[in-house]
Amino acid sequence: MGIAGWRWLFIIEGVITIGVAIAAGFILPDYPATTKWLSEEERNFASWRLMVDINETDDTHSRSIWEGVKLCLTDYRLYLFVLTQHLSILSQTFQYFFPSIVQTLGFGKIETLLLTVPGKSPSPRVLRWCET
């Protein structure tokens, strides 16, 4: 039978994303002074903008990529961010299953949808009207 069409869609999108990410690591410049595709005038202008905008010089003798990765992985804020991001996603997905959970309490389809709408809506009045 082969792989289902929706799986092929995920495989193709994933391969393209990974390919673009790897290519970006080689194409995007680290600093204006090391950029090969800029002219000398453009490099000088980019360095001048760095100095004016954020008062930072072009540091061509900075740490390596692996030292940067090590600093990132030893920073507690990274793990705090990952935790809060996952908690945010978890709390957002609850809204999709909430009507199904409420329907298991024995309410009909219309009543379930009326009970799960946001609190500032007129759902209690409408529900009372539906009961009469």
More confident of the two residues 132 and 95: 95
Q: Are 47 and 58 in contact (CB under 8 A)?
A: yes
Q: Which of 12, 13, 51, 10 shows the shortest CA–CA distance to 32?
A: 51
Q: Are 95 and 117 in contact (CB under 8 A)?
A: no
Q: Which residue has the tokens 């760095």?
A: 50
Q: Which of 50, 67, 70 shows the shortest CA–CA distance to 59?
A: 50
Task: Indicate whether 66 pLDDT > 80.
Answer: yes
Confidence at residue 56, expressed as pLDDT on a 0 to 100 scale = 55
Task: Indicate whether 78 pLDDT > 90.
Answer: yes
Task: Indicate whether 40 pLDDT > 80.
Answer: yes
